[in-house]
Amino acid sequence: MIYDIRNYSHAELTSIIRENFHKPDPRLFELARKTAFKYYDGRIFIRGLVEISNYCKNNCFYCGIRRDNHNLERYRLTPEVILACVQNGYALGLRSFVMQGGEDPGFSDDTMLEVIREFRRNFPDASLTLSLGEKSREVYRQFFEAGADRYLLRHETASKTHYDRIHPPEMSFEARIQGLHDLTSVGFQTGAGFMVGSPFQTPEDLAHDMLFLKGLNPHMVGIGPFITQADTPFADYPSGGANETLVMLALTKLMLPKAMLPATTALVTLLEGNRKPAFDAGANVVMPNISPLDTRKLYNLYSGKLATGAESAEGLDALVAQIKAAGYTPEFSRGDHIEYKE
């Protein structure tokens, strides 16, 4: 069978990636689409995203909110504002929320615990995903016990040599991977993920990503193109491509048919807002922004980031209409991974 990629070797994965980057094979996308209908019935899960802080103690070479970017106005939402954003999304019908931020020492783990507990008290039938970077296993455990359901921690690249070229020396590939194991062991639905087209990345590196994902078997995989950000050390490196990202999405759908795959904001930015190619490659999650409008431009991971969202009924209606027009079914539930449903 073609694209029986779960049985491919590293060399076979490398060549299939290289070939599809050169000329995408429509059969790959047909298979990914079929797989998305087989496992999730063509449903697209909607999650409201709140970007809680753009302070970050890390200095990732690619990222616009890195510590050494002094060209950025920083903000930190209060627990009250975060919960008000959720309340607003809840009133619009959303039942799945994501809180993401930089690794902000000024936003303490205790404050986050309060936010999680308050979320759980007020919205018992909604799910909560966190994406707050690397914490100790004990903190992950406390977050989970307090009522968070999922945690996204992209591994960024599964090749250690590549990881070390896009991060400063104080960051460690091993710590990142350990984080993913810790998250899963405390009970989280866990998300890994990687950028496509980041500086120095080769098809061999991406083949490692595929094999790594097969071994880890995460519940979610966030895949987005690297997009150049002018105030970073990688300002002069070109962005990754939409096509390449779609190919990696489709291959990931075939590798992990049950995984939740967001149509990431970075990809949708390159697609100029049209999500259909991402859905057709197997993406089944959208994360419209429900952060306050005035802070949204400041969560500036990369240049040109789309800042439209679902903070208003109109924004959400437009998203729902787009999903339907693409031939998919919008889904407002908690949106658990198949294995977490009873």
Q: Name the residue nearer to ligand SAH (CB basis): 75 or 90.
A: 75
Rounded Cα distance between 189 and 191, Å, is: 7
227 binds ligand SAH (CB under 6 A): yes
- Which listed residue (69, 129, 229, 284) binds ligand SAH by CB under 6 A? 229
Q: Considering CB under 6 A, how many residues would be counted as binding ligand SAH? A: 18
Shortest gap between Cβ of 275 and ligand SAH (angstroms)? 17
Residue 140 within binding range of ligand SAH, rule CB under 6 A: no
Cβ proximity to ligand SAH, 92 vs 301, nearer residue: 301
The correct pick among 62, 140, 151, 328 for binding ligand SAH (CB under 6 A) is 62
Cα–Cα distance measured from residue 260 to residue 24, given in angstroms and rounded to the nearest whole number: 23
Does residue 179 bind ligand SAH (CB under 6 A)? no
- Cβ-based nearer residue to ligand SAH, 103 or 204: 103
Q: Does 153 bind ligand SAH (CB under 6 A)?
A: yes
For 142, phi then psi, to 5°, come to: -65, -40
Question: In one letter, which amino acid is 248?
Answer: M
143 binds ligand SAH (CB under 6 A): no
Within residues 193-222, the interface with ligand SAH by CB under 6 A covers 195
User: 248 in the Ramachandran plot: left (φ > 0), alpha (ψ -120 to 50) or beta?
Assistant: alpha
Binding window for ligand SAH (CB under 6 A); candidates: 28-36, 99-107, 139-147, 327-335: 99-107
Among 302, 311, 323, 337, binds ligand SAH (CB under 6 A): 302
Answer yes or no whether residue 131 interacts with ligand SAH by CB under 6 A: yes
**Candidate ranges 112-120, 223-231, 270-278, 285-293; the one touching ligand SAH (CB under 6 A):** 223-231
> Shortest gap between Cβ of 299 and ligand SAH (angstroms)?
9
- Using CB under 6 A as the binding rule, whether residue 63 contacts ligand SAH is answered as yes
Separation of alpha carbons 193 and 190, rounded Å: 10
Using the rule CB under 6 A, is 89 a contact of ligand SAH? no
Rule CB under 6 A: say whether 53 interacts with ligand SAH: no
**Binding of residue 270 to ligand SAH (CB under 6 A):** no
The rounded distance, in Å, linking the Cα atoms of 278 and 113 is: 34
Choose one: 32-40, 77-85, 226-234, 309-317; the region binding ligand SAH (CB under 6 A). 226-234
Nearer to ligand SAH, 85 or 227 (CB): 227
- List 33, 95, 150, 154, residue binding ligand SAH (CB under 6 A): 154
Interaction of residue 100 with ligand SAH, rule CB under 6 A: yes
Three-state SS string over the chain comes to CCCCHHHCCHHHHHHHHHHHHHCCCHHHHHHHHHHHHHHHCCEEEECEEEEEECCCCCCCCCCCCCCCCCCCCCCECCHHHHHHHHHHHHHCCCCEEEEEECCCCCCCHHHHHHHHHHHHHHCCCCEEEEECCCCCHHHHHHHHHHCCCEEECCCECCCHHHHHHHCCCCCCHHHHHHHHHHHHHHCCEEEEEEEECCCCCCHHHHHHHHHHHHHHCCCEEEEEECCCCCCCCCCCCCCCCHHHHHHHHHHHHHHCCCCECECCHHHHHHCCCCCHHHHHCCCCEECCECCCHHHHCCCCCCCCCCCCECCCHHHHHHHHHHHHHCCCEEECCCCCCHHHCC
- How far apart are CB 131 and ligand SAH at their closest, in Å? 5
Q: Which residues bind ligand SAH (CB under 6 A)?
A: 62-63, 100, 102-103, 131, 133, 153-154, 156, 195, 224, 226-227, 229, 266, 301-302
